[in-house]
Amino acid sequence: MKIVDYIIVGQGLAGTLLTHFLEQQQQKVFVINNTSEYAASSVAAGIINPITGRRYVKSWMVDTLIPFAEQTYNTLSQQLGVTVFSQKNIIRTLFNRLEEDYWWLKSEEEGYAKYMLPNAALGNYKGRILPDFSYGEVTGGGQANVALLTEHYRHYLIEKGSYQIANFDLEQIKFLPEGIEYQNIQAKKIIFCEGYSGKFNPYFSYLPFGGAKGEVLIVRIADAHFEKLIKRKVFIASWKDDLYWIGATIDNHFEHELPTEKGKDFLTNKLQDFLAVPFEIVEHKSAVRPTVKDRRPFLGLHPEFPQLAIFNGLGTKGASLAPFFAHQMANYLVQQIPLLEAVNIERFAIKSN
């Protein structure tokens, strides 16, 4: 019988970072993961964007989340020997005088100046994109290489003998007086970090899970050397070498997880609308990410089975949310430090049949 402190189900960004912070507290973790090409972490560009939406508002808790995320990713970069985070500014297209004026006014508000430059420096985009009315530039953000992080952390876990590729079988959970048993493993708790699959976990299906399908293109743009991110309807973000991530579509009423011609055409047309140089489509990907009606993550223990826990619902801002809340979840599990009310699943009552 293998004895650990925690079993984690899922090794996307949430499962990876929670494992990291539990190990920092000398906890023994075993990860069970069913790899899928449609997992959100394998498709995510990892964009950390402090200013979002049409009204250019600061993302929730951004002043806390971004510095913590940078520190976490840099620590993991040193541990794994790869660079998983890069500070990058974001160019935003301003389509008319009204948007430009609003950008300038917003950039003068208290707490916004460090994130918003009134005038953008296009850098290597100059001459490679079709001109628009104007541009603003977002500072203080960046890009986490989620796919690289999860891949290298998986190798790290495999070398330790702490990782299994398998479908998790809920039927094989055995509840013990002081813990839980699964197959040949005993643990204090099982933490489910399943992404969109969590919607179908009967223990947590009472939570208001949603799902949003996103499609992206991986394209080759020769000799572009784009050092910044840019958004004009869709993002251009670096992927690797001379490959760039173009995305993403949003579909809340999808029929399947597969890429579609409709999604491909949408992204291709949006890219052609502003890219002035040739590009080659190398790959067309799709994934479904979990969504939550109040746009706050799911953290906490099951109200009837405290041996089960969940860390999920990171949504579109996972790259910035995951480090801070993985750390908080680890503190909650190990030291019983209370969770923020805004993310604790106690905010949702379990529904009786």
Domain boundaries, the chain: 2-43+147-208+294-347, 88-144+210-292
Task: Please give the structure tokens belonging to residue 88.
Answer: 């990058």
| Predicted local confidence at residue 353, as pLDDT | 45
- Report the interhelical angle of 146-160 vs 13-24 (nearest 10°): 50
CB 217 within 8 A of CB 271: yes
* 2-43+147-208+294-347 is classed CATH 3.50.50.60: yes
| Predicted local confidence at residue 7, as pLDDT | 98
Homologous superfamily assigned to 88-144+210-292? D-Amino Acid Oxidase, subunit A, domain 2 (3.30.9.10)
pTM: 0.95
| Predicted local confidence at residue 316, as pLDDT | 87
In order along its 353 residues, the chain shows pLDDT tens digits of: 899 999 999 999 999 999 999 999 999 999 999 876 667 787 899 999 999 988 999 999 999 999 999 999 999 999 999 999 999 999 999 999 999 999 999 999 999 999 999 889 999 999 999 999 999 999 999 999 999 999 999 999 999 999 999 999 999 999 998 899 999 999 999 999 999 999 999 999 999 999 999 999 999 999 999 999 999 999 999 998 899 999 999 999 999 999 999 999 999 999 999 999 999 999 999 999 999 989 999 999 999 999 999 999 998 899 999 999 999 999 999 999 999 999 999 999 876 54
- Report the interhelical angle of 146-160 vs 62-80 (nearest 10°): 50
